[in-house]
Copies of this chain bind each other. A is one copy, B any other.
Amino acid sequence: MDTKPAGDRRVRRTRAALRRALVELTLEKGFQAITVEDITERADVGRATFYAHCRDKEDLLVGIVRDLAEDRERLLPAVRQAHAQGFTGLPVKYIFEHAEQERPVYQVILRGEGDGRALREFTELIRKRAEAAFRDRAAQLGATPRIPLDLVARAWTGELVGLLSWWVEGGTGYSAAEITAHLRDLSVYGRVWATGLAPSDAPGALDLMP
């Protein structure tokens, strides 16, 4: 999928139409069930034109996801600078807000449509950021973690992706700010604080308690 600026208006229009059609159809029938003709029909574009823009369905999806990530990253420095310096992580609330604006695409990604590559790449991006942020801060403070930071980063990424997948489908009743706050409190202070349940009540505790 081309991601050049696309100077020609015709190119911009057909590309936008194809992408829009793919996202719509994916949410309706699932990525797998879609045929190229479905897409071109919905986009009102000749089938040959489709192949002038991308190799196949997957390629089209990759382009969408890549541009979404660029869009997200593009505004990041501004957001970051508005708060503090030296912070290398992605502000969580900003991710939720971005997902709110681009809900359909986030749904497609987080559902794991299209062989799940998009979701894996999204997750990896978050994970790397989180791990870098943890390491930076640990180095600054000279703190000695009780649990390896790579493991902490993976677990935290799992929490974020899990909640985001849920939230983006709608119906949770939380605002971006609310769910962000909950996620932070839970991950920072733990389940004992969050629920008042003693450790022995945790799933899996059976194997760990005397």
Q: State the A residues within 8 Å of B (CB).
A: 30-32, 80, 83-84, 87, 89-94, 111-113, 115-116, 119-120, 123, 129-130, 133-134, 137-138, 141, 143-149, 151-152, 154-163, 166, 172, 174, 177, 179-199, 201-208
Q: How many copies of this kind of chain does the complex include?
A: 2
**A123 CA / B94 CA spacing, docked (Å):** 26
Interface of A is mostly: helix
Nearest-Cβ distance from residue A187 to partner chain B, whole angstroms = 6
Q: Are A157 and B162 in touch, CB under 8 angstroms? A: yes
Closest to A155 in B: B159
Known A144-B196, A155-B159, A194-B145: A202·B187 in contact at CB below 8 Å? yes
B133 adjacent to A154 (CB under 8 Å): no
